[in-house]
Structure 1
């Protein structure tokens, strides 16, 4: 069999190199991030180095938690990096500019304290969720095949939110009043590190729902609902600062409720994906690419992990990597069939995507099944 690039096949592209869109997004986001940081320094930020360290401290743990949710059908690393970069760069700069303009508008009317509260409670939630969610709508238009269900929407939304929260925390720490840096870190980095990921995940769920709908007027509804939920939760959290501990408790309970709901959605989506594997892969058994044992192995994360461990122990890392590619390609194949049945993918596009996946599965089987 001819050489095959598994990364390119799994990404659905001719090459495994990042696409032009990803490169442009990351480059533009990097420029925006540099401008945003320069504006912070110009405004008199202090202790920037310490602020960066504090903002980055919880990030590895948060990223690990998000990526742990993405094990059944991992998203392309370049798309995840682009989502994080958009949140940290473009979103931060646009939100900074618009929020500052809102503050200047409200302050003459309501005074410094009232103008700040109005901007934080009314302007910031709308602006920030719109600019963060824009990249998710972009995925719907340009990389729709990556959105196979609510899990994907939550993953991408969380990455955007984490990027935004990290840079926003730098500004909060850098402008903290003397003697309040430790308390600010507790509030931002310990008590509420999931606010932005939670809010933008709601947009991601709406975008993912739209991606599984055929063309028509109904496709926009879940996207609008996702934005409305994100803005509402964000506004509730920001407005709670004006009502003391009681208001904070209400906002925290609402956030915890959203977190629980998203956890249930993730669990149900995992069961859905397993069901797709059991439904769409058995017809390929006569080809020899799939066996009944493979279907059983693909049905749980634990069975997948154990299979890779056995192959690694007996044959080495290369065959274990081939088995991992097989597992992901098989999952992609099942979800491709589902999109085709929903009318989201036309027959030519279905065939063009299916055949390389089957070829990759055959190549991988030749390596790990020997």
Structure 2
């Protein structure tokens, strides 16, 4: 029997391409092309400068966000979809709706300045956070199994936010270049507050993740809505404060810093929780031979995991290293699956089928990087987190 381990690790039927994800990526890419084409036509020579400057923060923050999930990496296709949804679909529709909001609001007010203020404080936060949140709600509905903890919700939300911010920054930088204010605008949007959108949308991500892990009931319905409300409120508060000159900008920056520190603490606690799940559930599989205590120790430490992959690569080359990566991910997913079973977050039959599939991946991978079997003390046993 030929089974695709990557399909099992991604929770999709073997032999079947993720058609929904592929279509969503294609649609999001088309929307991004439309936005970029509009910016290129209206920005002229400033478009190239604006796009290059908008890409700079991505080189810093994308690796940082991806590093948060090293113990249980998310599927690349899902991460790409989240980013492109923010950069394409959400950015394109928000551009249209925010412009319409500005026109409607300005018609009811005395000046354009008032129209811009109320659009930024009320209209834009509602429109943008709902649009960014759509892809997270879609994951909750169709790919709930990928949301194994609050960290996953934060990571997917941050990818959406980074994509949206990058596209939005292009237009801001184009406008700033045309009025000779590119330096200050770049400083404010790329240096002072590069994580506004990821931080706000992370509230929605947390709510969606809580719902994914909750038993059927009120919390599963309410958590995403509470998270979305928090995202809108934080976005509105930030825009209102930052429009009040330097004191307001300082307040907005402090708010963002506090939120970022809280999210960092949450991610650290989530990692400790994951280690606890590994230590609790995986030793029960020692009698099956698919895991040894030395493996449990290795899986509980990022440093030991890296040492194990390096050892596997030196021992058996690329195939062995890939087998070790699959083993680590499958074992981690197995521990998380037991937690989902305790929370009744999926049907028992579905959970048991996935458990058996993950054990198959672990057994197959172990036979590749450790063909002789055995439970001898391996090089990573003494590594610590």
Interval containing the TM-score (normalised by the shorter chain): over 0.9
TM-score by length of structure 1 reads: 0.96
The answer for the alignment partner of 1:93 in structure 2 is 92
Larger mean Cα displacement after TM superposition, 312-321 or 83-92: 312-321
Measured in 2, the distance between the counterparts of 1:119 and 1:46 equals 29
Q: Deviations over 1:300-327 (max 9, x none)?
A: 1111111222222233232122111101
Measured in 2, the distance between the counterparts of 1:40 and 1:53 equals 13
Cα pair 2:242 2:252 within 8 Å, conserved: no
- What displacement does 1:193 show? 0.8
Measured in 1, the distance between the counterparts of 2:45 and 2:118 equals 26
Relative to structure 1, the CA distance from residue 4 to residue 233 in structure 2 (aligned partners, 3 Å threshold; closer, same or farther) is: same
- What displacement does 1:38 show? 3.7
Measured in 2, the distance between the counterparts of 1:296 and 1:190 equals 40
Measured in 2, the distance between the counterparts of 1:266 and 1:206 equals 14
TM-score by length of structure 2 reads: 0.92
Secondary structure at the counterpart of residue 111 of structure 2: helix
Long gaps (5+) in structure 1: none
The answer for the alignment partner of 1:129 in structure 2 is 129
Mapping 1:204-243, distance limit 5 Å: 204-243=205-244
Cα pair 2:9 2:329 within 8 Å, conserved: yes
The answer for the alignment partner of 2:361 in structure 1 is 360
The answer for the alignment partner of 1:117 in structure 2 is 117
Long gaps (5+) in structure 2: 372-385
Measured in 1, the distance between the counterparts of 2:173 and 2:228 equals 28
Measured in 2, the distance between the counterparts of 1:39 and 1:63 equals 25
Measured in 2, the distance between the counterparts of 1:24 and 1:318 equals 31
Cα pair 1:206 1:223 within 8 Å, conserved: yes
The count of corresponding residues between Structure 1 and Structure 2 is 369
Relative to structure 1, the CA distance from residue 100 to residue 42 in structure 2 (aligned partners, 3 Å threshold; closer, same or farther) is: farther
Relative to structure 1, the CA distance from residue 67 to residue 17 in structure 2 (aligned partners, 3 Å threshold; closer, same or farther) is: farther
Cα pair 1:45 1:175 within 8 Å, conserved: no
- What displacement does 1:41 show? 4.8
Cα pair 1:45 1:171 within 8 Å, conserved: no
Relative to structure 1, the CA distance from residue 335 to residue 221 in structure 2 (aligned partners, 3 Å threshold; closer, same or farther) is: same
Cα pair 2:39 2:47 within 8 Å, conserved: no
Secondary structure at the counterpart of residue 207 of structure 2: helix
- What displacement does 1:339 show? 0.2
Provide the aligned C-alpha RMSD in A. Answer: 1.5
Mapping 1:145-294, distance limit 5 Å: 145-176=145-176, 177-294=178-295
Cα pair 1:151 1:269 within 8 Å, conserved: yes
Cα pair 1:18 1:78 within 8 Å, conserved: no
